[in-house]
Structure 1
Amino acid sequence: MSVRFSRLGHVLASAGAAIGVANLIIFPYRVHYFGGSAYVLAFVAFTLLMGIPLMILENAMGKRRGTDATDAFEVSGASPRWKLVAWLGILTTILVASFYLVLAGWTLEYVWKYATDYATVAATPAGPAFGEAIGNIPRALLFTGIFTGLVALVCSRELYAGIERLSKFAMPLLGILLVFLIVSLPIMQPQAVDYGNLLKFDWRALLLPSANGELGILHALGQAFFSLGLGAVAMLTFAAHADRDTDVLRSAPQIVHLDTIVAVLGALLVVPLLGGVQGDIYGGPPLVFINLVEIFKTYGDAAQWVGLLFFLLLAVAILTSAVSLFEPFLRTMTEHYGWERSWGSFVTGVLVFALTVPVVISCSPNGPEWLTDFANMGDPGLGYFNFLLEWAGSISLLVGELLLCWFLLKKWGLPALFDELAIGGPIVAPARRRRLTFAYRYVIPVGIGLLLAAKAWTLLF
């Protein structure tokens, strides 16, 4: 029998899988631009309406069989082709890992810079410094490889000694670092923080199109899906490690709430720092590696430690997410193809690292145009990186979530889901059955449909 998570280990590992770059970079950026607390409120509402029902579904499916993602789609009368949904999710996790670990490599390099050569960081404008960091292909591959090796090492251990122990250490550390920075930064440099953009409730910025046609409300809807990492079978796979008597109706909301809390804390940390930025505020990685680096420099003698702690915080968040990207593929290989964790995790690491190479090259100004402007998504450069971010990190997740709901409604069945939820917990009350049924039949498909339509419009027009 496979080793299982403890109940706390399952919740912390799943929350760690969800908590990552979306919480600490993407969410604060969107809060800043799309209505402040109005965006936060919309995000929280969507996690309650859609995030929790989907987390319940993925946890119940994974726990039901207790093996891996592909077996979760085995039910009476269901075609074996439904397993292709699991393989789509597994492929998604591998592709997401291929660009996620490149970002992890940049983060690790900045941890190294702040720890060993802060004088150079302080003396060099953040924009050119970041350009040099992502343009130096051998150095970027070195740090990406180191981080990939660390993820493989964690996954190579038995569950309690690897992923669970990491989660029990990393999640409290993440919280401590976040709270310390939130409290200390305004004390050390009051003029560097501005809470105006966070506290304002600007419904117009949320509901009306921006200058480039973006709708904040749709971003908040997408954030509720992407922040939780649903649709890529990582949560389903972690649930396969849970005990059979785990109360999913209790644990799934706990996972969602922990992720939401960290997202709000991330906004509380980052958004006030953006208030005094002169010039452009970038989306995505440049927000951290350019905007925040310049802000940290204003902290004088404490600047080195402020920057070091922040990049350590980001590295911890990325690490807990990265192990969840390895796990669906690794779990399937160990369950069905005779792999051992001790060496299978490193084979997975080599595979993912090989896939990171074109991503790293696409970020360098010296890379070939077919990668730097892949699918005409260079802005400039980062073409293949942006392509993976859009298709694997967004569209594929949405399709996976939609197929999960379809599988539930057409093959597994809502009565079977409710029976599964009663194992380890109380019988699902009629009112809750009605709410979940409405979510799976109408709310979630409509929400995903809107997001996919918006994606199609953006890509086509």
Structure 2
Amino acid sequence: MSVRFSRVGHVLASAGAAIGVANLVIFPYRVHYFGGSAYILAFVVFTLLMGIPLMVLENAMGKRRGTDATEAFTWPGTSKNWQAVAWLGILTSIMVASFYLVLAGWTLDYVWTYLTDYAAVATTPAGPAFGAAIGTIPRALLFTGLFTAMVAFVCSRELYAGIERLGKFAMPVLGLLLIFLIVSLPLLRPGALDYPNLLKFDWRGLLIPTDNRELGLLHALGQAFFSLGLGAVSMMTFATHADRETNVLRAAPQIVHLDTAVAILGAVLVLPLIGGAEGDIYAGPPLVFINLVEIFKTYGMAAQWVGLLFFFLLGVAILTSAVSLFEPALRTMTERYGWRRRSGGPVVGLLVFALAVPVVISCSADGPAWLTNFAGMGDPGLGYFNFLLEWFGSISLLIGELLLCWFLLKVWGLPAFFEELAFGGHRVTAADRKRLTWQLRYVIPIGIALLLLAKIWTFF
């Protein structure tokens, strides 16, 4: 029985944790609207400039203590108040999971429908069908509960039999499905895909604000944080399972590059599909459940299997991410309070499902107005869903990373950080030290401050 990740297992599990809806849904939509390949280039630059050093930092902190996120912020001679940063991350993970698993439930619902009743998909307009799927509360709760149970089952098993085995299975499956769809769709409908939509290079889409005060360049910056799952101590927690002598300077870029590769493959798959689509292209989940479903219908006899493979692909990506959202709370329960994984996993699952119930209700036209238009964020419904997505899926992550950088600079200290990177005989060059110092002291805090200011600007 393994109590640590293997080195390959750590990279694959962490990459699987990062890869999810942000790669396959949000990223393609933003590439479409914010400059095409110009947005991709900006995202890659921000990922290299900020994503890698933050991944290095979270991995180094996690493996240094090897217990849980709260212990990672426990330092001799310093206030225990720093543990609040870890608790904020754990809260963020749980709250993100509460709406993430509702989205997972929709995905599982579509997988089931494509398998058992494709005639209904083929004959019903995708918009009303999606509205009915998310608005039928008992059905939405059923599929959300089923997906939550799957996540709880994986997390409740011992490390190798659960999370590591999932990562080793899911990552190759994700890659193969993506490549298969990218190659097969043009063969099924030659000339139907709009590759210029992907290849366009429009800096104006990055630099000119939209009517809603959205700036593509800042979206690309935020994508670099959100896509990697940084700021919710999930990457830090996964690193607590890593071997003490893991070379973080090597492992962290591998995790980031895998995530970036899947995001780009997601854009290569989705962008040509929606480039020639008629009508509005929706943001977020409706892009998949409405726009893509209608596009898949045009593939004739292959339509059922094209849609089924895509939703299965999306479900696998969500599953690996959801496991990482459970793990910070579960790891704290096992290390700090002595729980066993096989009992802690179901408890975390029940907690997340209970928190997901109001999210499901907020997506239904039959839900009360205080949920469907929570904090005035209904558009026209999904108010509570949108609130959680904005505050815990964005702002809380940014605050968590800002506090983490502050902790590094004020408590841990850069010299001790570099000692940890070198632990096990690994080489940390002068150039590595200079680059990481510059990034963690100046570039990343400034980038996060700009994102938070942009959030305030769009609110008012």
Deviates more, 1:370-379 or 1:210-219: 210-219
Q: Distance in 1 between matches of 2:425 and 2:148?
A: 38
What's the secondary structure of 1:190's corresponding residue? coil
* 2:429 corresponds to 1:429: yes
**So what's the TM-score if we normalise by structure 2?**
0.99
Report 1:88-167 matches (<5 A). 88-167=88-167
Aligned residues of 1:249 and 1:425 also touching (Cα < 8 A): no
Using the alignment, how far apart are the partners of 1:81 and 1:209 within structure 2?
A: 40
Q: How far apart are residue 2 of structure 1 and its match? A: 7.7
Tell me if 1:41 matches 2:68: no
Counterpart Cα distance in 1 of 2:25 and 2:86: 29
Per-residue Cα deviation, 1:147-194 (whole angstroms, up to 9, x for no partner):
000000001110000000011001100000000000000110123310
Q: Which amino acid aligns with 1:205?
A: G
Quote how far apart the aligned CAs of 1:393 are: 0.3
Distance in 1, matches of 2:255 and 2:297, equals 35
**Cα contact 2:373–2:383 (8 A) shared by 1:** yes
Matches within 5 A, 1:6-405: 6-405=6-405
1:285-326, Cα deviation, whole Å (9 max, x unpaired): 100000000000000000000000000000000000000000
CA distance in 2, matches of 1:78, 1:258: 37
Deviation (angstroms), 1:413: 0.2
Alpha-carbon displacement from aligned partner over 1:48-74 (angstroms, at most 9, x marks no partner): 000000000000000000000000011
Bigger drift between 252-261 and 76-85 goes to 76-85
Aligned mates of 1:188, 1:436 — CA distance in 2: 47
Paired with 1:191 and 1:71, the residues of 2 have a C-alpha distance of: 56
8 Å CA contact retained: 1:11, 1:255: yes
CA distance in 1, matches of 2:290, 2:424: 48
The Cα shift of 1:456 comes to 1.1
Contact 2:2 2:160 in 1 (8 A): no
Q: Are 1:35 and 1:203, in contact at CA under 8 Å, matched by a contact in 2?
A: yes
Deviation, structure 1 residue 123: 0.2
Give 1:208 shift.
Answer: 1.3
Report if the CA contact (8 A) 2:212-2:458 is conserved. Answer: no
Distance 1:433 1:425 in 2: 16
Report the Cα distance in structure 1 between the residues aligned to 2:212 and 2:327, rounded to whole angstroms: 38
Pair 1:119–1:425, CA change in 2 (3 A): farther
8 Å contact kept, 1:98–1:359: yes
SS in 1 for 2:161: coil
1:105-132 CA deviation, whole Å, 9 max, x = no partner?
A: 0000000000110000000000000000
Shift of 1:396: 0.1
- Residue pair 1:71, 1:83 contacting (<8 A) in 2 also: yes
**Number of positions where the alignment pairs a residue of Structure 1 with one of Structure 2:** 460
**Distance in 2, Cα, partners of 1:388 & 1:423:** 39
Cα distance between partner residues in 2 of 1:83 and 1:211: 41
Indicate yes or no: 2:455 matched with 1:452: no
Q: CA deviation at 1:79?
A: 0.8
Secondary structure of residue in 2 paired with 1:22: helix
SS of the residue aligned with 2:15?
A: helix
Structure 2 stretches of 5 or more lacking a match? Answer: none
Tell me the distance in 2 between the aligned counterparts of 1:370 and 1:191.
47
* C-alpha displacement of 1:238: 0.2
Q: d(CA) in 1 for partners of 2:424 and 2:270?
A: 40
Matches within 5 A, 1:399-418: 399-418=399-418
Does structure 2 conserve the Cα–Cα contact (< 8 Å) formed by 1:69 and 1:332?
Answer: yes
Query: What SS does the corresponding residue of 1:191 show, helix, strand or coil?
Result: coil
Q: Give the distance between the partners of 2:211 and 2:186, measured in 1 at CA.
A: 32
CA distance, structure 2, for counterparts of residue 41 and residue 372 of structure 1: 37
**CA positional deviation for 1:224:** 0.3
CA shift, 1:425, in A, is: 4.9
Structure 1 moving runs of 4+ over 4 Å: none
- Once the 2 structures are TM-superposed, how far is the Cα of residue 426 of structure 1 from its aligned partner? 2.2
Preserved CA contact (<8 Å) 1:77 1:411: no
Shift of 1:32: 0.5
Mean Cα displacement is larger for which, 68-77 or 151-160? 68-77
Q: Is the 8 A contact 1:24 1:314 kept in 2?
A: yes
Counterpart amino acid of residue 29 in structure 1: Y
| Alpha-carbon distance in 2 for matches of 1:436, 1:309 | 41
Amino acid at match of 2:373: D
Please give the per-residue CA displacement for 1:371-428, whole angstroms capped at 9, x wherever unaligned.
0000000000000000000000000000000000000000000000000000135231
Q: Contact 1:374–1:384 at 8 Å: present in 2 too?
A: yes
Determine helix, strand or coil for the equivalent of 2:69.
coil
CA RMSD of aligned residues (A): 0.9
Per the alignment, in what secondary structure is the counterpart of residue 232 of structure 2? coil
- Distance of 2:432 and 2:347 partners within structure 1: 44
The CA distance in 1 between the partners of 2:192 and 2:65, in whole Å, is: 52
- Looking at structure 1, the residues matched to 32 and 191 of structure 2 have their Cα atoms a distance apart, in angstroms, of 18
TM-score, length of structure 1 as denominator length: 0.99
Cα distance in structure 2, aligned partners of 1:67 and 1:243: 12
Task: Tell whether the 8 Å contact from 2:20 to 2:321 is kept in structure 1 after alignment.
Answer: yes
| Contact in 2 for aligned 1:192/1:295 (Cα 8 Å) | no
Report the residue type matching 2:328 in the other structure: P
- Report how far residue 276 of structure 1 moved: 1.1
Letter in 2 for 1:284: G
Q: Deviations over 1:349-389 (max 9, x none)?
A: 00000000000000000000000000000000000000000
Amino acid at match of 1:363: C
Q: Counterpart of 1:269 in structure 2: which amino acid? A: L
Aligned-partner residue type, residue 181 of structure 2: L
